């Protein structure tokens, strides 16, 4: 159970922050950057949701995603121990990835096929979902970089989750654009 009585602790005044294990690391540590980007993506999704009053099914999906992103933040801020057993730490699990794939397929099934790349825009919800998508891609890159660092581990389902989430946010942006009707399509060389 999370209990936050005091918001400031002054423990980060020296440029460090605490991981879920209690270890202190510098605030520019790749692990901290990764879960910071996950948090940023979550905030961008929250802004997009403000514009989804007419799309309750999509809003419900994104509500679940926001909770999953807190799970992912907990996963990333708690480095895996060598002797970690199932349930010792909150981790992203394959079922969460599978759920995203199901949601992608369901939303995409209501959209017409694309004939061009889509520019971020159309409706406010779609524009914010595109922003969230790009933040997810950054978080994914940071997670992959972390997973390739010496003595660092990131669970495969966590990386898969971020990869699928950016796909979901792309499809969600089209869904929020009147099921693709208000998509702004790229016109190659159109600005010449």
What's residue 34's pLDDT?
96
What's residue 111's pLDDT?
95
Q: Report CA torsion sign: 27, 28, 29, 33.
A: positive
In the CATH hierarchy, which fold is given to the domain comprising 24-78+89-180?
A: Hypothetical Protein Ta1238; Chain: A; (1.20.1200)
What's residue 77's pLDDT?
93
- Between CA 72 and CA 161 the distance in angstroms is 9
Q: What is the biggest distance separating any 2 CA atoms in the chain, rounded to whole angstroms?
A: 59
Residue with tokens 């997810």: 136
Domain coordinates in residue numbering, the chain: 24-78+89-180
What's residue 149's pLDDT?
86
pLDDT tens string 96-106: 999 999 999 99
Q: Alpha helix (H) ranges present in 50-155?
A: 56-77, 94-108, 124-147
Could you tell me the pLDDT band of residue 192, with boundaries at 50, 70 and 90? confident
What's residue 63's pLDDT?
98
Could you tell me the pLDDT band of residue 128, with boundaries at 50, 70 and 90? very high
What's residue 8's pLDDT?
79
pLDDT tens string 2-39: 666 777 778 677 887 888 878 888 888 999 999 999 99
pLDDT tens string 44-95: 999 999 999 999 999 999 999 999 999 999 999 998 877 777 778 899 999 9
Q: Report CA torsion sign: 64, 103, 92, 94.
A: positive
What does the pLDDT average to over 149-176?
Answer: 94
């Amino acid at each position: 159970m999370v209990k936050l009585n005091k918001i400031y602790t002054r423990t980060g005044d020296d440029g460090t922050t605490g991981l879920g294990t209690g270890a202190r690391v510098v605030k520019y540590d790749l692990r901290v950057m990764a879960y910071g980007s996950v948090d940023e993506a979550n905030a961008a999704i929250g802004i997009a949701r403000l514009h989804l009053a007419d799309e309750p099914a999509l809003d419900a999906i994104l509500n679940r995603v926001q909770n999953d992103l807190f799970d992912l933040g907990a996963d990333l801020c708690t480095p895996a121990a060598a002797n970690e057993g199932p349930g010792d730490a909150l981790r992203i699990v394959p079922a969460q990835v599978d759920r995203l794939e199901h949601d992608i397929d369901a939303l995409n099934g209501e959209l017409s096929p694309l004939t061009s790349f889509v520019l971020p825009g159309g409706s406010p919800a779609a524009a914010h979902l595109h922003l969230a998508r790009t933040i997810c891609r950054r978080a994914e890159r940071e997670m992959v970089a972390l997973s390739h660092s010496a003595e660092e581990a990131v669970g495969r389902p966590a990386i898969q989750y971020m990869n699928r989430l950016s796909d979901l946010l792309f499809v969600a942006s089209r869904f929020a654009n009147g099921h693709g009707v208000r998509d702004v399509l790229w016109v190659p060389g159109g600005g010449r």
